[in-house]
Amino acid sequence: MKVGIITFTDGRERCWQGQRDDCFRFQGGIADWLTAQGHKVVPAQEIVWNWQTAREEALRMGDCDAVIFNFAVWSYPDFSAQSANLIDCPICFVGNINPAAPGWVAFFACAGMMDELGRNFGRVLGDLSDPLVAGDLKRWLADNEPDKRRRGEAAAAALKGQRYGEFDGPSMGMYTGHIDQSQWMEQFGVQVFHRSNLTLYWKMLQVAPERVEAGLAWLKDVCAEIQFDGEGLTDGLDGTLARQVRLYLAIKDLCREEGIDFMGLTGQLDWTEWDQGCIMDIPEAILNDNADWEDEVKPVTVCATECDSNAALTMQLLHLITKTPVLFADLRHYHADLDIYDLVNSGQHAPWLSHRSANYRDNWKDIRLMPASTFYFRGGGASVQFYADAEPTVTYARVTRKAGLYRCHIFTGSWVDYGFERNEELGNLTSYTWPHIWAKFDVPMRAFGKTFSANHLHAAIGNVVGELYAACEALGIEPIILGE
């Protein structure tokens, strides 16, 4: 990367003159560190001490991929504001260890200035000889690598012009799923197509029986087992599994007819409390997956249960970045002895997440369709049960609103696999018939509990923090990185 450095000082000429050499010494230390990391450095030619140097040094950074604002002594925040206003690339503040001068005072004063301006920026506080401090700057540079930013900005651009299918609305009083349709069009360029569940039922009646039969045969072929019990989960064209298959096909047809790119489905309570309804698990799982019995190459149609529209927005952004299925999960339970979270949701885990294979049969081979719990889901049908393979790096995210303004919490972690027997033991402690992911977060549990503001969490495979950060910036969503 091509990284610029601008160092700021006091606006009084005598102070600038008296601290100039010391400032250049600190700037040189950062330049040497960056060079050792393989970056091309563009250092400021003069220490910024007035409006003219603030402007000249900012313009000198015009072709940089990132710029470091360096604070080693007291400096006037308005100089940093003027420089920031002329710089389009990402900015990171570095506050040096220099007890002889109030550099940290400048660091925090200028941080407040950037917040006042609504400008996102990074923060690294300390000496780069400290591995923890150096690690913070390495991560920030990696997250703001130009190709990552381009991929994130492309995902944001791809969202514009898409259509979101809102089928009824958030269920059971969940405010975090509510949206303003006009705000989505104005801020994201997304058209919200709203229909009721009655539309889906009407479409179900038009699905040809042979398509349903093909779906039943496919599920029996690819799944490890289907536990028909003759009550909640029944076989045949009039059975509850067929009802779920028929509903999936109705939704699929409507999406194609109306050009729906991603969606939210109410599920509870309309479908699950009705004796002619069913649990949404099969439709949701297959919509979020990349395989079915009709398409040789099936596109992922991001679907959020309980019509959690902000969940769907989070998932669609992650999908546009990764091109793979994305996790939708409840924050179901935290096992303190293992430091893991049990991430479950009855139908929302795409079977692809089980093994992440290019061959859909590998992903579906351990899927068990189990009778849905009648305690919550009187309509009957199958729940989709599996345990996900381990994964060393995943990116978690969730878009929410605070007082009408969008923000996105972002952090990393991993997935653990304990083997089938231990997985079964842990699975039986919560909702056994649902899919389970044993998740580790790179954020302490107590800190997470004091910060996170939704019951639903989403994840994509790999580290796409930089891409998602850039996408959020492009969409006017405040990105909040947890664990740093």
Instruction: Write out pLDDT tens, residues 450-462.
Output: 999 999 999 999 9
Instruction: Write out pLDDT tens, residues 302-342.
Output: 999 998 999 999 999 999 999 999 999 999 999 999 999 99
> Cα separation of 164 and 230, whole Å?
37
Percent of the chain with pLDDT over 90: 91
> Cα separation of 164 and 162, whole Å?
7
- Residues recorded for the chain: 484
Instruction: Write out pLDDT tens, residues 418-470.
Output: 999 999 999 999 999 999 999 999 999 999 999 999 999 999 999 999 999 99
Residues 6+ apart with CB under 8 A from 120: 90, 114, 469, 473, 478, 479
Taking the model in full, what pTM does it have?
A: 0.95
Mean pLDDT confidence for 196-220: 96
| 344 closest CA partner among 429, 272, 403, 283 | 429
Confidence of residue 346 (pLDDT cuts 50, 70, 90): confident
The whole-number pLDDT of residue 170 equals 77
> Cα separation of 303 and 285, whole Å?
9
The whole-number pLDDT of residue 311 equals 96
The whole-number pLDDT of residue 377 equals 83
Residue 323, judged by CB atoms within 10 A of its CB (0-12, 13-18, 19+), counts as exposed
Instruction: Write out pLDDT tens, residues 360-374.
Output: 999 999 999 999 988
Q: What is the DSSP string of 166-190?
A: EES---TT-GGG---HHHIIIII--
Instruction: Write out pLDDT tens, residues 268-309.
Output: 877 878 888 889 999 999 999 999 999 999 999 999 999 899
Q: For residue 212, is pLDDT > 90?
A: yes
Task: Give CB contacts under 8 A, 24+ apart, made by 291-299.
Answer: 291/351, 291/352, 291/360, 291/363, 291/364, 292/215, 292/218, 292/248, 292/252, 293/214, 293/215, 293/217, 293/218, 294/211, 294/214, 294/252
- Amino acid at residue number 475: L
Mean pLDDT of the chain: 95
Domains and CATH numbers, the chain: 2-144 (3.40.50.10940), 153-481 (3.20.14.10)
More confident residue, 269 or 42: 42
| 218 closest CA partner among 162, 338, 298, 110 | 298
